[in-house]
Structure 1
Amino acid sequence: MHITEELSERHVLSITVTNEAGILAKIAGLFTARGYNIESLTVADISDNHQVSRITIVTNGPPRVIDQIIAQLDRLVPVHNVADLTANGPFVERELALVKVAGTGEHRIEALRIADIFRAKVVDTTTTSFIFEITGPTDKVNTFIGLMRELGLVEVGRTGIVGMVRGRD
């Protein structure tokens, strides 16, 4: 007997919504009620009059589940638009992280060397620690954090993914 499993794919969804109380809870509730996982979630006001926000959600699932998520999001009243950036062609995605590393001597020098390679900025320093700011795709941020773990990683703060379709539209 041959059982075919649908492969789970990572998708970045950009949702434009009316900026009103409770909309984030509605969207998160939709994911929770149906057992969909949210890997990353960011929200920001994107209009001059503070009436519209963009919610960016990173989730995983087989194509039929992603289609189902999009259809259910589209039905919510304050939702203006749902775009699957992953399916719509080339897009830019970025994440910001603050990474605190403590160490002295060679570990401190190595942390600075690696930060330079990754184009991470030192945003705070003491004689025994650094806080680095790194921006880029999730893989880059993950790799940087992994390397810093060996050199005295203390704490990490991450913003989550933001994304935008490339080109004119």
Structure 2
Amino acid sequence: MKYTLSVLVENQPGVLSKVVGLFSRRGYNLDSVAVGATEDSTMSCVTIVGEGDDYILEQVEKQLNKVIPVIKVRSLSPGAVQAELMLIKTGCETQHLAEINQIAALMKAEVVDVAKGSVTLRFAGEQEKCDTLCALLRPYGIREIARTGVIALDRG
């Protein structure tokens, strides 16, 4: 089962290393890690997406709560609002530009750079939609991808 954790931490050097180190020491793989400022400049939010059963999730939550700079750990519901930012550069011959623009419009991606032989798109959406956009652009030759990792908030 996939899980998403929202970990509120003190905004200080080395905190991310401590949080991620907890997972690596136990041999747990992470699908995504994103960290950013909160409305309070003294705190940051680390969003972690991983895979494991209920026992693993419970153990991870307990261990995270023992890490000193961690203030609060929340397991987000499966219906939480999630998004990821992706930049994707694809090969583009002149005859394919219209097709790539159609894909961008269909997926609500933004063309941010057009150069000789390449097009770069910016897309923000759920992880699965990022994967779909990659699949649609693969026939044109993906040259480079940069993804932020998932950020999430519970609904309501």
Provide TM-score, normalisation by structure 1.
0.88
- Greater CA radius of gyration, 1 or 2? 1
Distance 1:74 1:107 in 2: 52
Provide structure 1 residue ranges, at least 5 long, that are not aligned to the other structure.
1-8
1:99 equivalent to 2:88? Answer yes
Give the aligned residue type for 1:80: I
Name the structure 2 match of 1:155.
144
Residue number among 74, 78, 82 corresponding to 1:83 in the alignment: 74
Name the structure 1 match of 2:128.
139
The alpha carbon displacement at 1:90 in A equals: 2.9
1:166 equivalent to 2:152? Answer no
Name the structure 1 match of 2:62.
71
Distance 1:61 1:53 in 2: 25
Give the aligned residue type for 1:144: L
What is the aligned-residue identity percentage?
35
1:21-54 deviation digits (Å, cap 9, x = unpaired): 1111111110011011111001111134x21000
Structure with a larger share of its residues in helix: 2
Give the aligned residue type for 1:152: G
Within 5 Å, which residues of 2 pair with 1:1-169?
9-48=1-40, 50-86=41-77, 90-167=79-156
State how many pairs are aligned: 156
The alpha carbon displacement at 1:109 in A equals: 2.1
Cα root mean square deviation, aligned: 1.2
Provide TM-score, normalisation by structure 2.
0.95
